[in-house]
Amino acid sequence: MVDHVYRIIEVAGSSERSIDDAIRNAIARASRTLRQVGWFEVIQTRGHVEDGKVAHFQVILKVGFTLEDGQSDD
């Protein structure tokens, strides 16, 4: 049980509504193809502005997931 080996990848997500939603969108998308997502860390919060208003928030996340035995590392 002890020797956890996992990978960390970087994904981006965005939302017109909020930073929280941009995070949820990125996690939902990543979880469609990765079964064992365990945690995330926000490493950048940005956004686009149109007509003087925030058009959407965008986050870049580090996402950690467990490697299953048959799974490729790349």
H/E element, 38: strand 37-50
Neighbours of 31 (CB within 10 A): 13
What is the C-alpha to C-alpha distance for residues 59 and 57, in angstroms, rounded to an integer?
7
Site pattern 28..67 for a copy of itself (x: CB under 8 A): xxxxxxx--xxxxxx-xxxxxx--xxxxxxx-x-xxxx-x
- Minimum distance between the CB of residue 52 and a copy of itself, rounded to whole angstroms? 3
Residues interacting with a copy of itself, by CB under 8 A?
A: 2-16, 18-20, 23-34, 37-42, 44-49, 52-58, 60, 62-65, 67, 71-74
